């Protein structure tokens, strides 16, 4: 894959012994030019960056080398861990609002190629650890939004998708969500966590209610992990 180099000064060393095992997908909410400017600006308060920015036409910009920490996740939680920047790769996908704007096919094709390369270089990134920003920061973030084609990615071998014929979910919903990876409902309202789950796996209705279909989808994911 070809990259346009657009180095950002906003990065830090990975702590010693770090294994990169999470891939976080974002949307920019801003057009390409502004996104690149912000993600490479070292004068802002609250400096931010990402490893890659993916334009709508599929052009991939490389901002931070994968060996370095980029600053994209913020306060976050996944599978009992926080401060996920240290162990993750972050991709910012140019899209003004992933609940309202479709992702162009050329952009998704490029994203699949980019993700495949990242997964090959970092085999510790399990399918379950390919997440959206809203999965890891459900109280603050909705990106990459309800229009993001998670299933298309899963079909291409990137991320996990529920088994269609999953068994029903036994037991309580919130503990099962936590087993999958979501934050415990302490600092984050439980409903916001359910909404994050639905945004990813059942975007047609994001209401925060653990209805039977939502429960079945979660069971189908845990089933894939052999955990239920």
**Nearest in space to 27 (alpha carbons), one of 132, 149, 150:** 132
Tokens read off for 175? 């503990």
**Within 10 A of 162 (CB to CB), how many other CB atoms are there?**
19
Stretch that binds Zn ion, among 41-49, 95-103, 130-138, 145-153 (CB under 5 A): 130-138
Whose Cβ is closer to Zn ion: residue 130's or residue 169's? 130
Lookup: tokens for 77:
């939680």
Q: Which of residues 26-55 bind Zn ion (CB under 5 A)?
A: 26
Instruction: Give the shortest CB-108-to-Zn ion separation in angstroms.
Output: 17
**Total residues at the site for Zn ion (CB under 5 A)?**
3
Active site residue 56: no
Which tokens sit at 222?
């845990």
Per CB under 5 A, the list member of 21, 135, 143, 192 interacting with Zn ion is 143
For position 228 contacting Zn ion by CB under 5 A, the verdict is no
| Residues within window 4-23 making contact with Zn ion, judged by CB under 5 A | none
Beta strands in the chain (DSSP E): 4-5, 11-13, 22-27, 52-54, 60-62, 68-70, 77-78, 81-82, 88-93, 130-132
User: Angle at Cα 43 formed by Cα 19 and Cα 88, nearest 5°?
Assistant: 15
Minimum CB distance to Zn ion, residue 225 (Å): 25
Q: Kindly name the residue from 82, 92, 126, 227 that is annotated as catalytic.
A: 92
Of 11, 62, 133, 195, which lies in the binding site for Zn ion, with binding defined by CB under 5 A?
Answer: 133
Catalytic residues: 92
What is the binding site for Zn ion (CB under 5 A)?
26, 133, 143
């Amino acid at each position: 894959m070809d990259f346009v180099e657009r180095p950002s000064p906003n990065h830090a060393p990975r702590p010693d012994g770090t294994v990169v095992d999470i891939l976080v997908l974002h949307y920019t909410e801003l057009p390409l030019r502004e996104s690149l400017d912000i993600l490479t600006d070292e004068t802002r308060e609250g400096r931010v960056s990402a490893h890659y920015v993916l334009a709508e036409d599929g052009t991939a910009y490389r901002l931070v080398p994968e060996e370095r920490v980029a600053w994209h996740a913020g306060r976050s939680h996944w599978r009992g861990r926080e401060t996920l920047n240290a162990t993750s790769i972050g991709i910012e996908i140019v899209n003004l609002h992933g609940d309202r704007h479709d992702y162009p096919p050329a952009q998704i094709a490029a994203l699949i190629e980019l993700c495949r390369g990242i997964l090959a270089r970092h085999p510790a990134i399990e399918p379950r650890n390919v997440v959206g920003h809203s999965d890891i920061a459900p109280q603050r973030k909705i990106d990459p939004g309800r229009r993001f084609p998670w299933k298309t990615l899963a079909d291409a071998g990137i991320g996990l998708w529920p088994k269609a014929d999953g068994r029903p979910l036994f037991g309580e919903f919130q503990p099962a969500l936590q087993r999958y990876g979501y934050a415990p409902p302490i600092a984050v309202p439980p409903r916001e966590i359910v909404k994050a789950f639905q945004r990813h796996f059942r975007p047609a209705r994001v209401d925060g209610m653990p209805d039977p279909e939502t429960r079945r989808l979660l069971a189908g994911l845990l089933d894939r992990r052999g955990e239920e």
